Amino acid sequence: MTTTNSSNDCINWIEEAISKNYFKYYEHRYFSNVQKVGAGGFGEVFRANWKNSEQYLALKSFFNLDNATAKEIVNEVIIIHSILLSLEFNKVFLIFFFI
Ligand X SMILES: Nc1ncnc2c1ncn2[C@@H]1O[C@H](COP(=O)(O)OP(=O)(O)OP(=O)(O)O)[C@@H](O)[C@H]1O
CA nearest to 24, candidates 4, 44, 50, 47: 50
Residue 13 or residue 62: which is nearer to ligand X going by CB? 62
By the rule CB under 6 A, 31 interacts with ligand X: no
Compute the least distance from the CB of residue 13 to ligand X, in Å.
Answer: 19
Residues 1-20 close enough to bind ligand X by CB under 6 A: none
CA distance 30 to 35: 14
Binding range to ligand X, per CB under 6 A, among 1-9, 13-21, 41-49, 63-71: 41-49
CA distance 88 to 55: 20
Q: How many residues belong to the chain?
A: 99
Task: Give the other-Cβ count within 10 Å of 1's Cβ.
Answer: 12
Which residue of 9, 45, 68, 78 would you call a contact of ligand X, by CB under 6 A? 45
By the rule CB under 6 A, 95 interacts with ligand X: no
CA 5 to chain centre: 18
- What are the residues binding ligand X (CB under 6 A)? 37-43, 45, 58
